[in-house]
Amino acid sequence: MLFSRRPPKCQAPPAGLGKDDIRTQSSICTGETTVGFLDPKTGKLLQAVVVRTPQDLADFYRSYGFEPPQ
């Protein structure tokens, strides 16, 4: 086999933030949902990603090495 598959590397969460700081927010106007790390000082989502399906949410958790909630 010439090419071997490597497991994807986990991204690093923002400094000082972990699994307990992950939040989802929905837009009142469009209903668009985003997930990211909530900065306690500013109240803004860091590294926010649009969520369209429950699989997108699970992929976000796994990309940072966390187990998605049940």
Q: Taking residues 17-44, report their average pLDDT.
A: 93
- How many degrees, rounded to 5, is the angle at CA 17 between CA 33 and CA 6? 80
Which helix (H) or strand (E) segment holds residue 59: the answer is helix 54-63
Judged by average pLDDT, the poorest of 1-5, 13-17, 46-50 is 1-5
Instruction: Grade residue 12 by pLDDT with cuts at 50, 70 and 90.
Output: confident
State the pLDDT at residue 34: 96
State the pLDDT at residue 11: 85
Say yes or no to pLDDT of 2 above 80: no
In angstroms, how far is the first alpha carbon of the chain from the final one? 38
Query: Which DSSP letter does residue 57 get?
Result: H
